[in-house]
Structure 1
Amino acid sequence: MAGMSRETFWGPWSFYGSLVALAGFGLDRLNKWWMIEVYDIASRGRVEVTSFFDLVMAWNLGVSYGLFQAQTALGVAILAGFAIAVIIGLGLWLARVEYRVTAIAIGLILGGALGNVYDRIFYGAVADFFSFHAFGFYWYIFNIADVWIALGVALIILESVWPGLVGAGKKDSPDGKSGDKSA
């Protein structure tokens, strides 16, 4: 692996982003365990929490919005393999980030992706529970991992549109120091 530096796999914000990812994964697993094993949402059917929010049990065999349904072991393996490739790519990106907000964003996405790939590997589908609806329109059913992914993507979009959000063009440093972007 000549020519590859340490930053190819582990950069100054990798530890920080990894902690966010582990926390996100842990909270997702805790929520799914509680909903499935303790609360036993499957036996309860639809639980109306408010007039616009229900708890339900839905096993998503596909990806977002139920696209690319995987109903065979090969299909599940392909979706899990794709998710693992995305996780590796995000890890490599994390090694190169310069801003704390980017590390947080990637960590959130990684935590969510890990939570959903765990489900896909161990259950063959992703467990979803939260259903928002209003005026006859039902939004897709989702889980905590999906929330982490959406928040991470939103942070990346915000950072790309408003770079000043992360320190007015200064590079962040995990040790709390800032450096000039041209350095």
Structure 2
Amino acid sequence: MKNFTAKQSGLRWLWLALLVFVLDISSKLLIMNIVEYGWENRIEVLAFFNLLYVHNYGAAFSFLSDAGGWQRWFFIAIALSISGVLVYWMRQIPASNKLLNIAYALVLGGAIGNLFNRLIHGYIVDFFDLFIGTSHWPAFNLADSAICVGVVLIVVESVFPSKKKASTTE
């Protein structure tokens, strides 16, 4: 892979990761200040969507949430590692590869948003509640959404690589 200057590389897209981080942390602080903690205090927004304020000590779908505390440091290490790899990859690809840079920036911003929560609170603040009837999707937040969208974009880019990417990685 070619090395690019910061201006020519995907590092130019770090502003998007910062925006995701700021929006995520701001939304979590807002929820913590306006919604009482717990599922019983959820606020109905639509027939299939509530706002609420809950803590997630685990990962996606509350994986390892009741593991006794060690998982906090495990998930912090994973988030730091993934963030480092994403910054490295962004440095290696041209800024013109918009789809891949957007994808990496979304994942990076989301990972850092959730990392911040783990470091400061010891848990992640979740507040979106989607459901059909009595079946609820696990609560999530903006960081989780950004990570999911970013991963989908990475998959799209890997299945349908952009021409710019192919021509610059000789």
User: TM-score, with normalisation over the residues of structure 2?
Assistant: 0.86
Aligned ranges 1:129-168 → 2 under 5 Å: 129-163=127-161, 166=162
User: 1:127 — aligned with what?
Assistant: 125
- Structure label with greater radius of gyration: 1
Q: State which of 45, 52, 68 in structure 2 corresponds to 1:49.
A: 45
Name the aligned partner's letter for residue 164 of structure 2: K
User: 1:91 — aligned with what?
Assistant: 87
Q: Name the CA distance, whole Å, in 1 between partners of 2:111 and 2:169.
A: 33
User: 1:71 — aligned with what?
Assistant: 68
Residue 170 of structure 1, CA deviation:
2.6
Of structures 1 and 2, the one with the larger relative CO (CA 8 A, separation 6+) is 2
Counterparts in 2 of 1:47 and 1:8: CA distance versus 1, 3 Å: same
Residue 112 of structure 1, CA deviation:
0.2
Q: Name the CA distance, whole Å, in 2 between partners of 1:24 and 1:77.
A: 23
Counterparts in 2 of 1:14 and 1:162: CA distance versus 1, 3 Å: closer
Unaligned runs of 5+ in 2: none
Counterparts in 2 of 1:9 and 1:40: CA distance versus 1, 3 Å: farther
RMSD of the TM alignment (CA)?
2.6
Residue 81 of structure 1, CA deviation:
1.5
Counterparts in 2 of 1:61 and 1:170: CA distance versus 1, 3 Å: same
Q: Name the CA distance, whole Å, in 1 between partners of 2:105 and 2:10.
A: 9
Q: Name the CA distance, whole Å, in 2 between partners of 1:180 and 1:65.
A: 39
Q: State which of 16, 19, 24 in structure 1 corresponds to 2:20.
A: 24
1:101 pairs with 2:99: yes
Unaligned runs of 5+ in 1: 172-178
Aligned residues: 166
User: TM-score, with normalisation over the residues of structure 1?
Assistant: 0.80
